[in-house]
A and B are shown apart, each in its own frame.
Chain A
Amino acid sequence: MSRASLIFGTLLAVLLPLSLLAGRVWIAPADFGPGNTLLILAELRLPRAVLAVVIGAGLGAAGAAMQGYLRNPLADPGLFGIAPMAALGAVASFWLAPMLPPALAAWSLPVMALTGAALGMAALALIAGRTASDAAGGAGGGIALFTLAGLMLGSLAGAMTALAITLAPSPFALSEIVLWLNGALTDRSWREVMIAAPLTIAGIAVLALAARSLDALTLGEEAARSLGLDPARLLALLVVGVGLTVGAGVAVAGIIGFVGLVVPHLVRPLTDRMPSSLLLPSALAGACLVLAADAIVRALPFVTELRLGIALSLIGAPFFGWLLLRMRRGRL
């Protein structure tokens, strides 16, 4: 285990129990006991904390893998277009749910969001996969095309989501959609954990398979291929890995931005800067960040809870600006 994994693993072990105490009502360790306190902990705060860990870990690992693949410290899993596609699926479910029997309606959101993510993955693989496997495609074609395909998917999904919002069937549905798009972990239960955890773990495992190939890309595409890298396999691993982690996150929590961008930056100076050394610590650090941010938003004394997605973007955007300034000074 590397130093960075140790640091963020320890931090997570400290934060997890602490976060359980935080909320609109503070629970002191002395209050632990049977009855309501235990119920609140086991059924409300623990699943929410576990979900924060799962989603944060997925976003952190996906961000680290994306930055390695695009050889760019400013890459974000959102660039893939998978998150907007998952969000589009979720928004579509707000239209569909009223037409379904109640038993099915409860599942329509996560299922539709995952379907959106899967469609996004398939489209990406179709567009970018052709050049990745084409050895005669020329230098740089694969990854540049991949990024552009992701951006295209993202804008298309964004436009269709906006369309769905303007045509919302009722003001109530409208507010539901808008609220949901700004991700949050409010009132999540073990059900959401059951959906997101297996998919995220599978996604991180897939990304781990790509680790050494990402290292090879440090030298550029052609040198990496000369080292035996199979571009088509790497693309497939990345699309599936990011699709699973990001898709699972959006399916249960909505869009949570900036974690995938910010976390690898916090982690990188603590590692040897090889993309493979970044994956596990970024997963752990992402878990810490989302867990801490979620504990803070629910403890803030606002009438309506500050949405987690908004809070993280409020922190993330200025951080992004600071990164740009640092890059201009050539210290990145």
Chain B
Amino acid sequence: MTLVAENLTLERGGMRVVERLSAALRPGEITAIVGPNGAGKSSLLLGLAGLLAPAAGQAMLEGAAIGAMAPRARAKAIGYLPQSPDIAWDVAVENLVALGRLPWRDRGVAAIDAAIAALDLEPLRHRPVSCLSGGERARVLLARVLAGEPRWILADEPLAALDLAHQLSLIGHLKLCARRADGQAQGVVVVLHDLAIAMNHADRVLVLKDGGLIADGPPRDALSPEVIAHGWGVTAQWLGDPGRMGLVSGG
């Protein structure tokens, strides 16, 4: 069930954006990918999702190279949520969520209902997406991924543009996916900008800089003040109790 990057090297537009990166990700955990702008976070996520072909090395799902998987089989296993996508047509929430069933080629009523229920979207079910607030929209887009019942959920900055309450609510939904008790625990990989969210809610943090890992481990180790100083060039320190820590930075 592991999702593995093995010496993964990725290029975009001729530029090397991820360089010989290795990491083995486990289901049942929330893995946060953090790093300064341009570190290659989104590219790494695309590479893990099988949407960006490796220039060298490979991304593997349960021992099989993702690039060699049939697109539909890959789509069933890995759900990918791009960063704030624009929705081209003003469709109803229910129809948008149903797009998650495309790889299965079924109507998937049960899965769609479950996804809508999981994200508390029942009251919005028939509303056109143009009439949603930012927080509702983010939930609908995540529900679309959940409707596909993927083993892995890869989300690129799903919390961007959400207020504090909606950030916590959405990360809570992602936690539920990783903590499912029915033996179907999903793997959650999420690109984050807010280090406090990563510190308080992730099980594991990958810190990226210039396309390489500078730290990988539990949040307290991976997001130590030393790593933050190295990665972002910012002096910072953590305050508060575990699970509710805040970052104070300056200088």
Which residues of A pack against B, CB within 8 Å? 71-72, 135-136, 138, 212, 215-220, 222-223, 225-230, 272-275
Nearest CB to that of A223 among chain B residues? Answer: B82
The stretch from B47-55, B179-187, B207-215 touching chain A is: B47-55
Main secondary structure of the interface of A (DSSP, over half): helix
- Verify A273–B89 contact, CB threshold 8 A: yes
Q: Give per-residue flags for B87-113: 1 if the beta carbon is below 8 A from chain A beta carbons, else 0.
A: 111111001100110110000000000
Rounded to whole Å, the gap between the CB of A83 and the closest CB of chain B is 24
The stretch from B70-78, B219-227, B229-237 touching chain A is: B70-78
Residue B99 contacts which of A215, A222, A225, A272 (CB distance < 8 angstroms)?
A215
Rounded to whole Å, the gap between the CB of A116 and the closest CB of chain B is 31
Tell yes or no: B85 within 8 A of A by CB.
yes
Residue A219 contacts which of B11, B12, B51, B144 (CB distance < 8 angstroms)?
B144
Residue A136 contacts which of B11, B75, B100 (CB distance < 8 angstroms)?
B11
User: CA of A218 to CA of B78 in the docked complex: distance in angstroms?
Assistant: 19
Known: A71-B88, A218-B89, A226-B78. 8 other contacts (CB 8 A): A71-B89, A135-B52, A216-B99, A218-B87, A219-B96, A222-B80, A227-B100, A274-B89
Tell yes or no: B148 within 8 A of A by CB.
yes
- Verify A223–B81 contact, CB threshold 8 A: yes
Q: Pick 6 A–B contacts, CB within 8 A, sort by A.
A: A135-B52, A136-B52, A212-B102, A220-B86, A223-B82, A274-B91
- Verify B78–A219 contact, CB threshold 8 A: no
Residue A226 contacts which of B53, B79, B90, B95 (CB distance < 8 angstroms)?
B79
- Verify A222–B51 contact, CB threshold 8 A: yes
User: CA of A83 to CA of B5 in the docked complex: distance in angstroms?
Assistant: 47
When distances are taken between beta carbons in the complex, the residues of chain A under 8 Å from B87 are: 218-219
Nearest CB to that of A220 among chain B residues? Answer: B85
- Verify B51–A227 contact, CB threshold 8 A: no
Tell yes or no: B250 within 8 A of A by CB.
no
When distances are taken between beta carbons in the complex, the residues of chain A under 8 Å from B251 are: none
When distances are taken between beta carbons in the complex, the residues of chain B under 8 Å from A222 are: 46, 51, 80, 82, 85
When distances are taken between beta carbons in the complex, the residues of chain B under 8 Å from A215 are: 99, 102
When distances are taken between beta carbons in the complex, the residues of chain B under 8 Å from A218 are: 87-89, 91, 96, 99
Residue B71 contacts which of A136, A220, A223, A230 (CB distance < 8 angstroms)?
A230
Tell yes or no: B63 within 8 A of A by CB.
no
Q: Give per-residue flags for B143-157: 1 if the beta carbon is below 8 A from chain A beta carbons, else 0.
A: 010001000000000
Nearest CB to that of A222 among chain B residues? Answer: B82
Residue among A220, A228, A230, A274 facing the most chain B CB atoms (10 A cut-off): A228
Rounded to whole Å, the gap between the CB of A217 and the closest CB of chain B is 7
User: CA of A272 to CA of B89 in the docked complex: distance in angstroms?
Assistant: 9
Nearest CB to that of A332 among chain B residues? Answer: B90
Residue B51 contacts which of A212, A216, A225, A274 (CB distance < 8 angstroms)?
A225
Tell yes or no: B13 within 8 A of A by CB.
yes
Residue B13 contacts which of A138, A216, A228 (CB distance < 8 angstroms)?
A138
- Verify A219–B91 contact, CB threshold 8 A: no
Rounded to whole Å, the gap between the CB of A237 and the closest CB of chain B is 15
- Verify A217–B88 contact, CB threshold 8 A: yes
When distances are taken between beta carbons in the complex, the residues of chain A under 8 Å from B141 are: 219
Nearest CB to that of A216 among chain B residues? Answer: B102
User: CA of A212 to CA of B89 in the docked complex: distance in angstroms?
Assistant: 14
Given A223-B80, A223-B81, are A228 and B89 neighbors across the interface (CB < 8 Å)?
no
- Verify B75–A226 contact, CB threshold 8 A: yes
User: CA of A220 to CA of B85 in the docked complex: distance in angstroms?
Assistant: 6
Rounded to whole Å, the gap between the CB of A165 and the closest CB of chain B is 39
Given A272-B91, A272-B95, A273-B89, are A226 and B49 neighbors across the interface (CB < 8 Å)?
yes
- Verify A228–B51 contact, CB threshold 8 A: no
When distances are taken between beta carbons in the complex, the residues of chain A under 8 Å from B102 are: 212, 215-216, 227-229
- Verify B51–A226 contact, CB threshold 8 A: yes
Query: 7 smallest A-B Cβ distances: which pairs?
Result: A228-B75, A226-B80, A71-B88, A228-B72, A220-B85, A228-B71, A228-B103
Nearest CB to that of A219 among chain B residues? Answer: B85
- Verify B89–A135 contact, CB threshold 8 A: no
When distances are taken between beta carbons in the complex, the residues of chain B under 8 Å from A138 are: 12-13
User: CA of A244 to CA of B5 in the docked complex: distance in angstroms?
Assistant: 44
Rounded to whole Å, the gap between the CB of B228 and the closest CB of chain A is 30
Nearest CB to that of B90 among chain A residues? Answer: A273
Rounded to whole Å, the gap between the CB of A311 and the closest CB of chain B is 30
Residue B85 contacts which of A223, A274, A275 (CB distance < 8 angstroms)?
A223
When distances are taken between beta carbons in the complex, the residues of chain B under 8 Å from A71 are: 88-89
When distances are taken between beta carbons in the complex, the residues of chain A under 8 Å from B85 are: 219-220, 222-223
- Verify B74–A228 contact, CB threshold 8 A: yes
User: CA of A199 to CA of B131 in the docked complex: distance in angstroms?
Assistant: 41
Rounded to whole Å, the gap between the CB of B143 and the closest CB of chain A is 12
User: CA of A273 to CA of B89 in the docked complex: distance in angstroms?
Assistant: 6
Rounded to whole Å, the gap between the CB of B213 and the closest CB of chain A is 22
Q: Give per-residue flags for B2-43: 1 if the beta carbon is below 8 A from chain A beta carbons, else 0.
A: 000000000111000000000000000000000000000000
When distances are taken between beta carbons in the complex, the residues of chain B under 8 Å from A72 are: 88
